[in-house]
Amino acid sequence: MSPDHDPLPAGFPEWREGPPWVMSEMVAAEPRLAVQILAEGEGRLRISPLIASALARGAMVAVSGCGTSEHAAMAFSDLVGSAVGRQALVRPRQALEAALDPWPGLCVAISHEGETAATVAAIEAAREVGADTALITAAPASSAGRAVRELARTPQVDRSWCHTVGYLSPILVGADVAAHLAGSQLDPEAAGEYLHRCLADLGPGSELAATALAQSSSVTCVGGGADYVAARELALKIAEGSRIPALSHQLETFLHGHLAAVDSSSAVVAVLADPGAGPRLLERTRRALAAARMVGARTILIAGPFVPADFATSLLSTPPLRLPPAARLDSRVAATLGAAMGIQLLALDLATARGTNPDLIRREELAYREAAAQAEGSITL
């Protein structure tokens, strides 16, 4: 389907009639990008001291964003909080909520292009209550960039609006910050090599899973613990890229009522990559998949290397997307990076299977451009 107006407005992603989509080029660039981000160490140099200072005085660290950046903020908080043992003080916050009820202490905002109105409002509200402010962005000259005291620049602007680079980049900064605060340092080459291996190992399984999902009327993405972050981001990517209604739920929340909306036209994707997952979480994931199969839903699993090879195989519509082991990376970092690659490949392959262009998230259609302009208006507090 051609766009409503040719050419599209300035600043839009490149329009393509068919694959390869720009999104695929962004995914392919991520191993190289990981090496660059970790070697340059912007987060280590600029963000770590602010977080260390806040934690030393017992202040809250709010990590804030919207959409994909909100999910990156959740991953950032998990990595940093776990590394320093201060999960109670390092907390993710949706940007509008942070703007409505700002915390004194430190606000670390994540905004890939730096113009999200709610995120700018969160920064401004934090400043008004005396909080220190920082930003992780690919656009340092943006509105958000001008509003903070310190920022870490990520080097690659995502050329697709179905963001992949925009998700992985701040996660890499978070992993770098977490390692530094814990007294260690990530190996840039090890991170790049691991992402390369993820692309190679997950590709064939992702295509099979996408084919199974392509005819679904809705997709529910579930995960427990840190895996809920990836489940949320996958639901967003499916909605943006493939136009399939997609929801995300905490694993146990799904089992308590939301199963009623699942049937033979639906699909359920479970993420089980968190290395901290114990026998109880494996068992609850198995039960979720079994319940979904009993009502006829298609079932897909993204699994970490710790998951037994025979786990739930009879309950899956396709073989699991199994993340490779990473001997030279911290297991939590590897799980976060690997899950990111798994969900991105699955979302990309699903868009290809559905014949939808993921890059403009439907804004090649005039009605959706106008709706986006309505949604993205300025926020006055």
Amino acid (one-letter) located at 5: H
Q: What is the mean pLDDT of residues 236-252?
A: 97
- pLDDT tens, residue by residue, 125-139: 999 999 999 999 999
Tally the residues of the chain: 381
CB within 8 A of 314, min separation 6: which ones?
none
Q: How far is the C-alpha of 115 from the C-alpha of 138, rounded, in Å?
A: 11
Q: Could you give the percent of the chain with pLDDT greater than 70? A: 98
pLDDT band at 7 (very low <50, low <70, confident <90, very high): confident
CB atoms within 10 A of CB 379: 18
pLDDT band at 110 (very low <50, low <70, confident <90, very high): very high
pLDDT band at 239 (very low <50, low <70, confident <90, very high): very high
Whole-prediction pTM: 0.96
Q: Could you give the percent of the chain with pLDDT greater than 90? A: 93
- pLDDT tens, residue by residue, 37-92: 999 999 999 999 999 999 999 999 999 999 999 999 999 999 999 999 888 899 99
Q: Which residue ranges make up each domain of the chain? A: 22-186, 188-354
**Whether pLDDT at 381 is above 80:** no
**Whether pLDDT at 2 is above 80:** no
The beta strand positions in 95-245, using DSSP E, are: 105-110, 132-137, 150-153, 218-223
* In contact, 246 and 356? CB cutoff 8 Å: no
Distance of CA 88 to the CA centre of its chain: 21
**Whether pLDDT at 187 is above 90:** yes
pLDDT band at 1 (very low <50, low <70, confident <90, very high): low
**Whether pLDDT at 379 is above 70:** no
Model pLDDT, residue 5:
73
Evaluate the CA torsion angle 216, 221, 222, 223 in order and state its sign.
Answer: positive
CB atoms within 10 A of CB 265: 12
CB within 8 A of 371, min separation 6: which ones?
none
Q: What is the mean pLDDT of residues 175-184?
A: 97
- pLDDT tens, residue by residue, 281-321: 999 999 999 999 999 999 999 999 999 999 999 999 999 99
Domain 22-186 adopts which CATH fold? Answer: Rossmann fold (3.40.50)
In degrees, rounded to 5, the angle at the alpha carbon of residue 181 between the alpha carbons of residues 140 and 92 is 60
Model pLDDT, residue 380:
63
> E strand or H helix at 300, and its extent?
strand 298-303
Identical fold at 22-186 and 188-354?
yes
- Per the prediction, the chain carries an average pLDDT of 96
**Assigned CATH for 188-354:** 3.40.50.10490
